[in-house]
Amino acid sequence: MGLFSNTSDEKRHVSIESKQLDTGAQLDASLHAPLDPDESLRIRRKIDRHILPLMCVLYCIQFMDKATLGNSSILGILKATHLTTNQYNWLGTIFFLGYLAFEFPQNLALQRFPVGKWMSLNIFIWGVALCCHAACKNFAGLFAIRFVLGICEGSTTAGFMIVSSMFYTRREHTARIGYCRKNCDQSPLPPFTPSNSSNEWSWFESQVFLPSPTLIDFAAQIISSFISFGTLHIHTTVFEPWQWLMIITGTLTLITALSFFFLFPDSPTNAWFLTEDERAKAVRRIKENQTGVENKHFKMEQMIEALTDPKTWLFALFSAFNAIPASLGNQLQIMIVSFGFSPLQTTLLGCVSGVVGTVSIFTGVTIASRIPNSIAWVGIVYFVPGLLGVFLVNFLPWHDKVGLLFSIWIQIASAPSFVLSLAWVSQTTAGHTKRITTNAIKLSALCIGSAVGPFIWRAKYKPRNHVPWIIIGVCHLSGMVLLFSIRVLLARENKRRDAEPLGDSFNDVYVVRIDEDGNRTEVKVSKEFLDLTDRQNRDFRYVL
């Protein structure tokens, strides 16, 4: 930590270097009165209005961009670029290999540079790369462009996980990663203490719902399907339908990049839409997280802690197993066509997949939000329809095209499990360097699973694809076991900490401030802004 102590008869001093402090420490120290609950609610609503629409738009664009490969498979890209089945699978894999190769560098850059600006740069480059798809004539060109696309999109999920932890309390994470609520939290929330941190969550009623980042992924699938349907009606001699799809989605991405550059904040300490007083209050709001805002100083000890923390690798394994079934996304359109539906019908039927995903995430996050300490249980339950879908698609007769189609849609209903895991890892990890390391490991594991996934769909397994579906079933079962294991691990740690005597470590920490007249004063720094990890801060309790 870099803490140095000096003891006198009057009081115990612990002085620290400024680089060890969380960026919110100075702002928090400037507030001398407790934060009024109504004022906290007003600020949170203001943050919602300025952040959530941009996050929703970008996630929508990101999903549409990922879906372009699957949609273009029935729009003519396979024939135009002379792709074999194996080459088509490689285009799905290379995206995630680029994502994987640059995931940790992306996370380090997100800590080193302003989050909003770094994300804007990456969004712009991936918009250009997406438009360049239309100029590709063979596998080699598409291979290179997909790699660049993966590199740039690696900044999005990690960036949003970091931003969410900067602006929102742990009580608000799950709802905002799955969906967001407006006009809620009408009653003040209790302060974070060891006694109520994990066992007495106050969840809230809502009246008006707003779409949010992860929920909108599936809404984007609906939009993407309609765009694909529209491109089939564009008849020009210059571009084919799949090329128009790439140009349209690429242009939308470039517009999003400009919006992010000018409008998306880097942190609550410098958010353009907050006054100086509101910034201080925004920082005070997230004090209960015991995680601080951010620290631009890389701490090797926190990285080592992340690497040696068992829950880091359990979350990583879960991500890897959960990513393999996601390879169905690039195969879905081809599979529906094989059932006997026309390309026009297939593009419209793709909308149903988006509806199923949207409804399942909405209901899953709602249940987890209303029932305290239920994240693991809800995630496990939502794997059940996934297993049912796998069973049906394997054993229904091949001539039952409608039944097989519904089996695939049922399988998609397992989507909330991964959504909840994203919220869960953010709520159970503290310390900025540890957080970005954990995020990088989890997302890297996700990339490995996503890179492997396309290769389970081999030409020799068609048309029934029994082997791929069995693998997907095994992945669902493994996900259930891992969620249960994580819950047991964290529950035991909470019980161990509850039995510990209250400690006073880090309670008397001061930072030196020099005012405009050159006077030297010491300001006490709250424990929450010392950039402590969840292991160092024994007051931290894990969400279950």
pLDDT digit string, tens, across residues 47-75: 888 888 888 888 778 777 777 888 888 78
Report the SS3 class of residue 169: coil
What pTM does this model have?
0.67
CB of 296 within 8 A of CB of 433?
no
Q: Using one digit for the tens of pLDDT, what is the confidence trace for 220-247?
A: 667 777 788 888 888 888 888 889 989 9
Output 279 or 185, whichever has higher pLDDT: 279
280-301 tens-digit pLDDT = 888 877 765 444 444 456 788 8
Check pLDDT > 90 for residue 368: no
- pLDDT surpasses 90 at 213: no
Other beta carbons within 10 angstroms of residue 33's beta carbon come to 6
* Owner of token pair 């039995």: 499
Whole-number Å distance between alpha carbons of 438 and 464:
38
Distance CA 77, CA 71 (A): 9
- What whole-number distance in Å separates Cα of residue 263 and Cα of residue 381? 39
More confident position, 294 or 450: 450
Q: What is the mean pLDDT of residues 82-96?
A: 87
**Residue 142 pLDDT:** 92
Q: How far apart are CA 306 and CA 39, in angstroms?
A: 35
Record the tokens describing residue 441, joined without a space: 């490991």
pLDDT at 35: 72
- The reported pLDDT for the residue numbered 212 is 41
Judge whether 185 and 173 are in contact, CB under 8 Å: no
Average pLDDT of the residues in 238-257: 90
Contact 350, 357 (CB under 8 A): no
